[in-house]
């Protein structure tokens, strides 16, 4: 295999990843459901964008459609995913494969199942080099050992011959990260990279990701439901609810002055903010079934501010000029409150 040609790297001001109006439909026995509805966001190199939302809000589905790993039951029905100026959704599988690795890559949540149990890890980490750069087995191995050193695996030369089950959870996550950054991607998608790990290891992994990001100027899309991780790590945040974006903007501002009642509810339910001796505030109810997303505002059933207008019309995601936008009819009101 020869080295594959990849479109030139983007200049500093164009986004490394630009998702626009992404729609994903699911075919189910009871008909087609819209799992992701018009999601847009973009990230520049060196920046971190967090996709925040509760389980089932479509954040993983968004990530999987970006890297082209959607389940056959799901189908991208609209929108564009642009990397290096071209839309990956309209590429042939072969063109897409050229981008997979050197431009776009993903770190999965469950590191044990994401590694092949019968291959020594050194071989697996070397695989991207064999596929994209056509390196020999030995060269790929040396590269793999370099990467393992970089992500902090002790005694990498010996450990390259071990199998995934011989590593701890944190080490496995490091191996996955090594594999994902192997080809210096522009965009790294991290799909809940620390959810399966304990807290101390989580911090180490997040630090490793940040160091790698600084070193390689990657754009990172961090998918998580952990508000603390978002607050610490991300530059911008996109809050998702029931397949739609309800609020986006710089993390610091969104978290200090939320303009959507859902964001507000999430932030209020963090134990640190609670008042001692009073019940922990929570967002009441649960997200709507995809088959029963209301026609007005998606959040109307759980919203403390719900009014008649919310039932009638769905609020568009409106930009307010300061780099932020929110999908609420009453965001100004919320901001003032």
The site for other proteins (CB under 8 A) is made up of: 67-69, 96-101, 104-106, 108, 110, 113-120, 123-124, 127-128, 131-132, 155, 157-159, 161-163, 165-166, 176, 179-180, 182-183
Q: How far is the CB of 202 from other proteins (least distance, A)?
A: 20
- Taking alpha carbons only, the member of 242, 190, 191 closest to residue 58 is 242
Whole-angstrom distance, CA of residue 110 vs CA of residue 151: 17
CA-nearest of 106, 97, 78 to 17 is 106
Q: d(Cα 53, Cα 59) in Å, to the nearest integer? A: 7
Q: How far is the CB of 148 from other proteins (least distance, A)?
A: 13
Between strands 187-191 and 219-224, the pairing is parallel
Residue among 49, 21, 180, 178 at smallest CA distance from 103: 180
Q: Using the minimum distance from each CB to other proteins, give the nearer residue, 110 or 253.
A: 110
Q: How far is the CB of 38 from other proteins (least distance, A)?
A: 25
What is the C-alpha separation between 255 and 240, in angstroms, rounded? 14
Give me the least distance between CB of 171 and other proteins, in Å please: 10
**Residue number with CB closer to other proteins (104 or 229):** 104
User: At its nearest, how many Å lie between other proteins and the CB of residue 146?
Assistant: 15
Helix axes 169-181, 199-216, angle to 10 degrees: 10
Give 231's contacts (C-beta < 8 A, 6+ positions apart). Answer: 251, 255
- The smaller minimum CB distance to other proteins, of residues 104 and 328, is found at 104
Residue 129 near residue 139, CB atoms below 8 Å = yes
CB of 130 to other proteins, least distance (A): 8
193 or 287: CB nearest other proteins: 193
Nearest approach, Cβ of residue 47 and other proteins (Å) = 21
- Return the number of the residue (118 or 275) whose C-beta is nearest other proteins: 118
Q: For other proteins, which is the closer residue by CB, 188 or 327?
A: 188
Nearest distance in Å: CB 123, other proteins: 8
Decide if 222 contacts 49 (C-beta within 8 A).
Answer: yes
Closer to other proteins by CB, 69 or 228: give it. 69
Judged by beta carbon, residue 179 or residue 205, the one nearer other proteins is 179
**Ranges assigned E (strand) in 17-84:** 17-28, 31-43, 48-52, 74-83
Buried b (16+ CB within 10 A) or exposed e, 266-291: bbeeeeeeeeeeeeeeebeeebbebe
d(CA 179, CA 181): 6
């Amino acid at each position: 295999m020869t080295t594959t040609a990849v479109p030139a790297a983007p200049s500093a001001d164009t986004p490394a990843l630009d998702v626009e109006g992404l729609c994903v439909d699911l075919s189910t026995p009871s008909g087609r459901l819209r799992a992701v509805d018009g999601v847009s966001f973009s990230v520049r190199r060196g920046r971190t964008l967090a996709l925040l939302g509760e389980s089932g809000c479509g954040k993983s589905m968004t990530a999987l459609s970006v890297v082209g790993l959607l389940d056959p039951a799901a189908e991208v029905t609209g929108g564009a995913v642009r990397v290096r100026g071209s839309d990956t959704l309209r590429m042939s599988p072969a063109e897409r494969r050229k981008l997979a690795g050197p431009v776009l890559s993903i770190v999965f949540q469950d590191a044990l199942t994401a590694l092949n149990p019968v291959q020594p890890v050194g071989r697996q980490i070397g695989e991207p080099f064999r596929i994209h750069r056509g390196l020999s087995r030995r060269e790929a191995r040396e590269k793999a050992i370099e990467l393992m050193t970089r992500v902090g695996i002790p005694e990498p030369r010996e450990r390259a011959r071990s199998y995934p089950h011989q590593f701890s959870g944190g080490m496995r996550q490091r191996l996955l990260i090594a594999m994902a950054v192997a080809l210096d991607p522009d965009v790294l998608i991290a799909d809940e990279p620390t959810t399966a790990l304990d807290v101390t290891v989580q911090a180490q992994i997040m630090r490793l990701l940040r160091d790698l990001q600084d070193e390689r100027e990657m754009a990172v899309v961090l998918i998580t439901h952990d508000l603390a991780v978002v607050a610490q790590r991300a530059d911008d945040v996109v809050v998702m609810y029931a397949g739609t974006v309800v609020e986006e903007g710089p993390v610091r501002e969104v978290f200090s002055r939320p303009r959507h009642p859902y964001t507000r509810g999430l932030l209020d339910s963090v134990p640190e903010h609670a008042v001692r001796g009073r019940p922990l505030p929570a967002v009441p109810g649960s997200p709507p079934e995809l088959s029963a997303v209301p026609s007005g505002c998606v959040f109307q059933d759980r919203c403390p501010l719900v009014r008649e207008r919310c039932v009638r019309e769905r609020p568009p995601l409106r930009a307010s000029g300061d780099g932020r936008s929110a999908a609420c009819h009453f965001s100004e009101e919320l901001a003032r409150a």
